[in-house]
Amino acid sequence: MRKLHNNELGRKSIQDYKKSGKSPFVVVLDNVRSHNNVGSVFRTADAFLTWKVLLCGITPRPPHRDIQKTALGATESVEWEWYEKTTDALRKLKEEGYLIVGIEQVEGAVELQDLKIERSRKYALVFGHEVKGVSQEALDLCDQCVIIPQFGTKHSFNIAVSAGIVLWEVNKKGVASNAPLY
């Protein structure tokens, strides 16, 4: 085996990325406090052609060197907006026809592998604060919640890891990578 060089990876330019079809997903960060987590989410969102990232409440916003450290330029390719209140962002998304999916350990949550994705729907995936998780106010606006199955002694993932797992799974279901909707 030979390691591929960067010029062999077929990476898009920022202009090509912006012109590309996007997956029907919006990532909503509900009061995520870590700049590094925000940057990692942007980088993952870029990798999966995510439509947009909504930064809410205390979630740090670009430009910031600590976000850029992990985003590696993805804040330039992925569209983003900031909302003072997560609930305002979720209400707007509902008005636009999004199905709001909280990524949280709650009663009645569906395990991630059992989440049904419909090609005709748009989805907002809500990730919460590193310690407190998705706020109850945001959960009250969710149409459903998803839990990531875990088998060890810990019962949570880092927010950036959670975003990677969830975006991989929803894209694996055939919605985005080969046939973007937007």
For the residues of 117-175, what is the DSSP string, one character each? --TT-EEEEEEEBTTTBS-HHHHTT-SEEEE----SS-----HHHHHHHHHHHHHHTTS
Closest CA to 11 of 69, 79, 77, 67: 77
**Residue 176 scores a pLDDT above 70:** no
User: Which residues make beta-bridge pairs with 147?
Assistant: 111
Q: What is the pTM of this model?
A: 0.93
**pLDDT digit string, tens, across residues 86-142:** 999 999 999 999 999 999 999 999 999 999 998 889 999 999 999 999 999 999 999
Note the Cα 84 to chain centre separation in Å.
18
Q: Where does the pLDDT of residue 179 fall: very low under 50, low under 70, confident under 90, or very high at 90 and above?
A: very low
Report the CATH fold assignment for 15-172: Alpha/beta knot (3.40.1280)
Residue 23 phi, psi dihedral angles, 5° rounding: -70, 160
Give the pairing type, strands 52-56 and 98-103: unpaired
